[in-house]
Structure 1
Amino acid sequence: MTPPDRTPPPTGAAAPPARGSRLRKAMALGLATGLAAAGIALSTQITAGAAVQGSLPTGTQLFKDPNSQVARWVAANPGDSRQPVISRRIASQPQAIWFSNYSPSTVTNDVRTVTSAAATAGQVPVLAVYEIPNRDCGGASAGGAPDLASYDAWVRSFAAGLGSGQSIIILEPDSIALTTCLSGQQQADRFASLSRAGAAIHAASPNAKVYLDGGHSAWNSASEQANRLRSAGILTNADGLFTNVSNFNTTSNEVNFAKNVLGALGNPANLHAVVDTSRNGNGPAGGGAWCDPSGRAIGAYPTTNTGDPAIDAFLWVKPPGEADGCAGAAGTFLPDVAYALASAGASDPTTPPTTPPTTPPTTPPTTPPTTPPTTPPTTPPTTPPTSTPPAVAACSVSYKVASAWTGGFTADVTLRNTGSSAVNGWSLKWTFPADQQITSAWNAKTTQSGATVTATDLGYNGTVPAGGSTGFGFQGTGTGTSSPTAFTLNGAVCTVS
């Protein structure tokens, strides 16, 4: 079913180990209302786990994983011009550790490795569980356990590694808000399994705090989401709900939405909420773009000092710089994306915003890059040509449709400098042969007039050395299988490879 006012995601994408979910603004199917009632009755039949805990103590120190993708990249790239900004603004912060690979034989030890390290550091880990069958409804992060019985067993093994210390469990992003691919019975079965999962985690680790999928403020209504959460056992087997995971809505909107959901649940005193602020510093992208949209920024740093008794924490559940599935395979760390998010963020995002920003932050990074991410040229860069381009092209372009679905597509573009001099600042132009319209882009700024598109560099990737290349991508609407056949770089005609 096509969600309102946005393009549906690709349904045939590969399923790599995803470390983030594609939270989509999906329409509630007509079956939802009836299922809510059925789910409520079902949830009363599920045995509750250990009693849920109160709020997270203010000042709780969250665990920073020394083996995260961003930490490893920072350590391996000390000379990269992007490294200081990424290190200072992203790698320095605690982020969720995702369990998204179905590995029942090792999951207990995998979890214990994290919780033991956190206990040694005197910190509380944030663990994101992402293994429910039919996760992401077949989108860019498709996958999960083969069936619910296998999932139930996997969760018990996961819980066995938590130990007696405190932990924060983000239980299955997408699982409650996104059910458009499920029949009525499948939805009821999923919600029952989620309730069992919460009970199993509390039984194995009474100090664990379990949060269920609350979607986000631009998705289901608060009352609809409350009905679904009630069906999934939030009143008996969870400590609260999470919102905005992998999305970009402002913190103030998410706080208000979470409180409205809690209100629709009857304001039980033992339930609270956490909000993902990892990429919401500039709010959402225009047109509802959700998959690696450009122009976003890191938001408030992770903290349990939220100033609101209903909100336990602001967390970085989706690690900034890890792809949604358009700029790269879902969960892949991309330094270009991380640098863009960090550079666009406020210089000190430790204080969460109380109102949506009126204008996006424009402060540049404290230490702007002086060299491009790739190997700098050995000869001085030349200015773009101002005269008629030479007959022999100094560039080649590879244009590839990465994925396509009814009404939309994503594409990857690789620009190669085949000349003898560096290109310092690039502008690539082409004309679409059909009805394509770009909705969002990454690693380039795009403008479109009719069928004509101009893609320009973002500064940090503006220099392409002789023999070097750079790449960018975009998401669009229209006929993705019709590809452009001619490109010009700074006025010079490129060959198409």
Structure 2
Amino acid sequence: MRTSSLLAALSAAGAVSAAPRFSLRQTTNDTTAPNPFTGKTLFVNPSYATKLDQTHASFTAAGDTANALRVRKVQNVGTFVWVSRIADLSNIDAAIKSAREAQSKTGERQIVGLVLYNLPDRDCSAGESAGELKTAQDGLRRYKEEYIAPYAAKVSAATDLDFAIVLEPDSLANLVTNMEIPGCAAAAPTYREGIAHAISALQFGHVHLYLDAAHGGWLGWDPNMPLAAKVFAEVLAIASKNGTREAKIRGFATNVSNYNAFDAVVRENYTEYSKSWDESHYCTSLGAYLEEEGLPARFIVDQGRVAMPGARKEWGEWCNVEAGFGPVPGTSNNNTVVDSLVWIKPGGESDGRCGFPNSPAAGQWHDEYVQMLVKNAHVSIDGVKV
């Protein structure tokens, strides 16, 4: 998914908006709930690990035994499983089966990371990740009945596992900054109703929901954060009205499929006027506005791909950026509002025919790019057991 329009945010960066009020205070923000990642192992997706065999073979053929070993370590890192079409619902079954096998073998409680990503009129501002459903073609009914209902049935039945589910990357951020785009304005009611329905349908004790909150370079500007918190609160309110009890989420996911560092070693020039200059600062900054709305200031942060210092000239560069695998899930982050660093979008699939030389079409495996990610990987990868 490409980063959506930043022009509105950048042009308004000097303005400050007062945080709006809402009525969810004390209902969606349960500060006593334990961190769902504590004491659990993030599920290692065998499907993703198998794709990396090609990268291992490439290093082995070149005689690079050190990086071949690093690939084996990457193959043992927990990653999220994407469910981006109705046909992908079978990915949940495969993940549950594999997680149960791992749990039985190791005795370690597994937390399965899933991405719920199939809204009608998806990716309204860019179209790079447009999905299968259209509102004008009965998409919202199909989303609820053919996608959300079986999704909920599958995870609700697997009470022997925990689930961390990221809801609809990029969607609500478009409602904050891109309502001047006709496609986004038209999609707004569907986005609100669809995501609220998903939240209300997934209210299970072993399921932990994280609503997507884009990233610091998109929503992290002063004018955008209070507006974002208001949109999130509105959707939670709709979800609560849908159910028989108050709908709750654990928190928010940031940086999904993007390249921002959690704790930047170098502050890039293009972040000069932003207090959200890396994802740790963004979580802290946004958290204050979320709490004003009665929302939980809890986060998971995608570090599957992290741009190398100086690799981007502006925040809007989103396609196959020079990068490395980021800190492995569970790496200490020293931010009390962050539940865990995670790999939601692990490196491998191309963002499109752009950025890195000879990049294939979006979604295709990009082995040369993965080799670069391995060579530039965060030092924490060396501590992973094989």
TM norm structure 1: 0.56
Structure with the larger helix share: 2
Matched, 1:251 2:262: yes
Counterpart in the other structure of 1:328: 360
Q: Kindly state the Cα deviation for residue 75 of structure 1 after the two structures are TM-superposed.
A: 7.3
Q: CA deviation at 1:117?
A: 1.9
SS of residue matched to 1:132: coil
Q: Which runs of 5+ in 2 are unaligned?
A: 10-19, 104-109, 238-245, 264-277, 354-358
Q: Which residue of 2 aligns with 1:407?
A: none
Partner Cα separation in structure 2 for residue 40 and residue 28 of structure 1: 23
Pick from 58, 81, 84: which aligns with 2:68? Answer: 84
Equivalent positions of 1:20-419 (< 5 A) are 21-28=1-8, 54-68=34-48, 70-73=51-54, 79-81=60-62, 84=68, 87-103=71-87, 107=89, 109-122=90-103, 123-137=110-124, 138-146=126-134, 147-153=139-145, 154-162=147-155, 163-164=158-159, 165-179=161-175, 180=178, 181=181, 182-184=183-185, 186-202=187-203, 205-220=204-219, 221=221, 222-233=225-236, 236-252=247-263, 253-266=278-291, 268=294, 270-280=296-306, 282-283=308-309, 285-288=312-315, 289-293=317-321, 295-303=322-330, 305-326=332-353, 327-348=359-380
Note the alpha carbon deviations across 1:149-197, whole angstroms, 9 max, x for none.
2112211211111121211101111111134344546313312221210
Distance 2:253 2:330 in 1: 14
Matches of 1:132 and 1:25, distance apart in 2 = 19
Q: Which runs of 5+ in 1 are unaligned?
A: 1-20, 30-38, 352-497
**Retained in 2: the 8 A contact 1:58–1:305?**
no
Please tell me whether the aligned partners of residues 110 and 161 of structure 1 are also in contact (alpha carbons under 8 angstroms). no
Structural RMSD (CA) = 3.4
Could you tell me whether the CA contact under 8 Å between 2:122 and 2:171 is conserved in 1? yes
Report % sequence identity: 24
Instruction: Evaluate the alpha carbon distance shift between residue 110 and residue 318 of structure 1 in structure 2; reply closer, same or farther with a 3 A threshold.
Output: closer
The answer (yes or no) to whether the contact 1:133–1:145 under 8 Å persists in 2 is yes
Q: Distance in 2 between matches of 1:116 and 1:51?
A: 32
CA contact (8 A) 2:55 2:371 kept: no
Change (3 A) 1:159 1:53: farther
Using the TM superposition, name which of 208-217 and 110-119 deviates more: 110-119
Distance 1:185 1:70, change over 3 A: same
Asked if the contact 2:55/2:367 (under 8 Å) is kept, the reply is: no
- Opposite residue 211 of structure 1, the aligned amino acid is Y
Report which stretch shifted further, 137-146 or 248-257: 137-146
Residues of 2 paired with 1:117 and 1:53: CA distance?
A: 27
Q: Cα 1:191–1:273, aligned 2, differ >3 Å: closer, same or farther? A: same
**TM-fit CA distance, 1:116:** 3.0
| Matched residue type, 2:255 | N
TM-score, with length taken from structure 2 = 0.71
Distance 1:110 1:315 in 2: 19
* Deviation of 1:249 (Å): 1.4
Q: Is the 8 A contact 1:59 1:303 kept in 2?
A: no
- State the alpha-carbon separation in 1 of the partners of residues 167 and 32 from structure 2: 15
Measure how far apart 1:310 and its partner are: 1.1
How far off its partner does 1:70 sit?
2.8
Q: Aligned AA for 1:237?
A: K
3-state SS of 2:218 partner? coil
Aligned residue type for 1:278: G
SS in 2 for 1:155: helix
Aligned-partner SS, 1:190: helix
Task: Report the secondary structure of 1:223's partner residue.
Answer: helix
Letter matched to residue 129 of structure 1: L
Looking at structure 2, the residues matched to 281 and 26 of structure 1 have their Cα atoms a distance apart, in angstroms, of: 18
Which protein has the larger Cα radius of gyration, Structure 1 or Structure 2?
Answer: 1
Structure-2 change in CA distance of 1:80 and 1:301 (3 Å): same
Moved more, 333-342 or 118-127: 118-127
* Amino acid corresponding to residue 197 of structure 1 in structure 2: A
Shift of 1:130: 1.5
Task: Tell me, in whole angstroms, the C-alpha distance in 2 between the residues paired with 1:110 and 1:321.
Answer: 18
Say if 1:101 and 1:192 are closer, same or farther in 2 by CA, change over 3 A: closer
The alpha carbon displacement at 1:349 in A equals 5.1
> Contact conserved, 2:120 with 2:190, CA < 8 A, in 1?
no
Structure 1 distance, partners of 2:350, 2:335, is: 31
SS in 1 for 2:170: coil
Distance in 1 (CA, whole Å) between partners of 2:190 and 2:303 is 31
- 1:281-312 Cα distance to aligned partner (Å, 9 max, x none): 5256223321112x222211111753433111
Matched residue type, 2:99? A
> What letter corresponds to residue 153 of structure 2 in structure 1?
A
Residues 113 and 245 of structure 1: CA distance in aligned 2, closer, same or farther (over 3 Å): same
1:73-110 CA-to-partner distances (Å, cap 9, x unmatched) read 3577684337715614532311111111232xx72x54
Q: Work out whether residues 71 and 91 of structure 1, in 8 Å CA contact, stay in contact via their aligned partners in 2.
A: yes
Q: 1:174 to 1:85 in 2, by over 3 A?
A: farther
Q: Mean alpha-carbon deviation: is it higher for 322-331 or for 266-275?
A: 266-275
Deviates more, 1:236-245 or 1:265-274: 265-274
Letter in 2 for 1:149: R
Give the count of matched residue pairs.
314
Is the 8 Å Cα contact of residues 84 and 118 (structure 2) preserved in structure 1?
yes
Partner Cα separation in structure 1 for residue 99 and residue 374 of structure 2: 26
Which deviates further from its counterpart, 299-308 or 318-327?
299-308
